[in-house]
A and B are shown apart, each in its own frame.
Chain A
Amino acid sequence: MSLTTDEVKKIAYLARLGIDEKDITAYASDLSNMLDLMTQMGETNTDNVQPMAHPMDQMQRLRPDVATETNQREHFQSIAPQVESGLYLVPKVLD
């Protein structure tokens, strides 16, 4: 199984991940090798096998719907790249 450079560009865009033009061929080749490794799984019959998402197969724990955290907005925003009046700033989305 091999991935084209266009496919790599598409996946990178889906992941919002910048990759250098000069590295794309290398990523395409590495990912193709990884996919070759993964196709080995196809040789094993897994009909009627339940997918295993988690080692403990436990149910998600529930807790009473009570607030346990205090508001620490300023504390958390103190490490943000750019904030103003308690808001996180990003480039303009709407003109």
Chain B
Amino acid sequence: MHNKTITELAKDLRAGEYSSVELTQTYLDRIKQHQNLNCFITVAEEQALINAKIADEQLAKGATNLLTGIPIAQKDIFCTQGIKTSCGSKMLDNFTAPYDATVIEKFNTSGAVMLGKLNMDEFAMGSSNETSFYGAVKNPWDINTVPGGSSGGSAAAVAARLSPAVTGTDTGGSIRQPASLCGITGLKPTYGRVSRYGMIAFASSLDQGGPMARSAEDAAILLQTMAGFDTKDSTSVDKAVPDYSAGLTNSLKGLKIGIPKEFFSEELNTDVAAVIETAIDEYKKLGAEIKQVSLPNMKLAIPAYYVIASAECSANLSRYDGVRFGYRCDQPDDLNDLYIRSRGEAFGSEVKRRILMGTYALSAGYYDAYYIKAQKVRRLISEDFSKALSDVDVLMGPVAPSPAFGIGEKTDDPIEMYLADMYTIAINLAGLPAMSIPAGFVDNKPVGLQIIGNYFTEDHLLNIAHQYQQVSDWHKQTPKGFE
């Protein structure tokens, strides 16, 4: 049953082929069997089986929501009442949220069964899942390589069939890059589409939650539950949620695809480039027209992003003060010592680096030179996208410059790690929706194709992804040992 789609599982549950309790137990067993991947920070076994039993009762009464009784796992950035939420940090190792995030509440209402909380880079800062306090996650395609990050536990869990689908969050590529490196389907929605309430903040003007699944069809079902206006999130956008599954089968005849020339820079691995070009050719066969476009300011996305994200993170993470919740140092001498040691002992080095960077960029004398300058560059980048998307329907290119790299390979050089985000972060600066879908392999490692759309066109992106998945089977490949 672990190779079935959500639609198939929902049908089987209703036909009485197996119960939600049996389905949940199957996944719990797989999670235990593949513990070495380190995908989960917390497995909520007891609660999952209780909820599966409730779901079975709802199904017997004719529950209509497709997710009722379907096991799901959540990135450990979403607050869950009664179950530990660590955000991958020692700071929150002892933290059990007193409330549920809106996304969690929505999944609970749908009757989905939460298997547990997924490993991630500490406070979502990282592109390899190596900054987690709970240790690195291994990529099921090659356990010596990283799964990507920050939603690395999420992506690896779907690839290894430890959960039919999961959630992730994307501040600079944290859904798309791990989706690409693990060969799964990930969607970062338009900024404001999915509520951030109860989603632990990293960089608030960039953070966005979204679904990660095996196919676009499954991702559409998850997004249907996750999306929507929320009065508890001040930047949530009050806009009707379309039926994300309704347009999946639409034809792509006449679709205009723009290929930004900056996506095929010299940093791009030539084998990855070949995979992307083959995927684009496939779209031609489906009736799409291809046009070259340009995003002239794209090279500035990395510097602008690392100023803005660091500045926002230094402000957001000032809440961890050792007073109200989270880690507190032993025997503080005075209040300053309490702050300094609690934060110093509980944050990892990547988080510290970014807090320092952000504090510097926001400090007197540097604010205009770094922070305001980055915000101006952000507008230029956003305008580049608006211009490109006025000529074409979507943009396509790679997600990451290379397939999964080795564990430990880039940990000594933070800058090198940052540069690997070059194709994803500009999209967060603009706030656009984008997907990563499996498009092939290089050295037996998966490679994702990135599809970028205009604001609030998630339904169209899912349609474009689904049509490709009707004529390709990259998304159906399973890593050896996880069949």
- Report which A residues bind B (CB closer than 8 A): 3, 8, 11-20, 23, 27, 30-31, 33-34, 37-42, 44, 46, 49-56, 58, 60-61, 63, 72, 75-76, 78-82, 88, 90-93
Closest CB-CB distance, B277 to chain A, in whole Å? 29
B380 near A37 (CB under 8 angstroms)? no
A40 to B415, CA, bound (A): 14
B428, closest chain A residue (CB): A55
B110 at interface by CB-CB < 8 Å: no
- Which A residues are in CB contact (< 8 Å) with B334? 91-93
B431, closest chain A residue (CB): A55
B382 near A55 (CB under 8 angstroms)? yes
A16 to B352, CA, bound (A): 11
A13 to B341, CA, bound (A): 11
Closest CB-CB distance, B172 to chain A, in whole Å? 13
Q: How large is the interface on B (under 10, 10 to 19, 20 to 34, 35 or more residues)?
A: 35 or more
- Report which B residues bind A (CB closer than 8 A): 95-96, 98, 191-192, 205, 231, 234-235, 237, 297, 299-300, 302-304, 306-307, 314, 318, 321-326, 328, 332-341, 343-345, 347, 349, 352-353, 355-357, 359-360, 363, 370, 372-380, 382, 414-415, 418, 429-432
- Which A residues are in CB contact (< 8 Å) with B414? 30, 33-34
B376 near A46 (CB under 8 angstroms)? yes
Contacts A52-B378, A81-B323: A93 and B335 contacting too (C-beta < 8 A)?
A: yes
A56 to B376, CA, bound (A): 15
Chain A interface mostly helix, strand, loop or mixed? loop
Chain B interface mostly helix, strand, loop or mixed? helix
Contacts A17-B356, A54-B205, A56-B431: A63 and B303 contacting too (C-beta < 8 A)?
A: no
- Which A residues are in CB contact (< 8 Å) with B363? 11, 14
A42 to B373, CA, bound (A): 8
- Which B residues are in CB contact (< 8 Å) with A3? 360
A17 near B343 (CB under 8 angstroms)? yes
- Which B residues are in CB contact (< 8 Å) with A11? 356, 359-360, 363
- Which A residues are in CB contact (< 8 Å) with B192? 55-56
Identify 18 residue pairs between A and B in the complex whose beta-carbon atoms are under 8 Å apart, listed by A's number: A11-B360, A15-B343, A16-B339, A17-B355, A19-B344, A30-B415, A31-B360, A34-B353, A37-B303, A37-B418, A38-B307, A52-B375, A52-B376, A54-B431, A55-B191, A55-B192, A80-B325, A81-B323
Contacts A55-B191, A63-B231: A31 and B356 contacting too (C-beta < 8 A)?
A: yes
A53 to B341, CA, bound (A): 32
- Which A residues are in CB contact (< 8 Å) with B333? 91
A72, closest chain B residue (CB): B98
B379, closest chain A residue (CB): A52
Closest CB-CB distance, A81 to chain B, in whole Å? 4
B234 near A60 (CB under 8 angstroms)? yes
B324, closest chain A residue (CB): A80
Contacts A14-B363, A18-B341, A52-B382: A91 and B335 contacting too (C-beta < 8 A)?
A: yes
Closest 8 CB pairs of A and B: A18-B344, A55-B431, A51-B375, A81-B328, A52-B379, A46-B376, A16-B339, A15-B359
B362, closest chain A residue (CB): A14
A79 to B353, CA, bound (A): 28
B335 near A37 (CB under 8 angstroms)? no
Closest CB-CB distance, A2 to chain B, in whole Å? 13
A46 near B98 (CB under 8 angstroms)? no
A68 to B370, CA, bound (A): 39
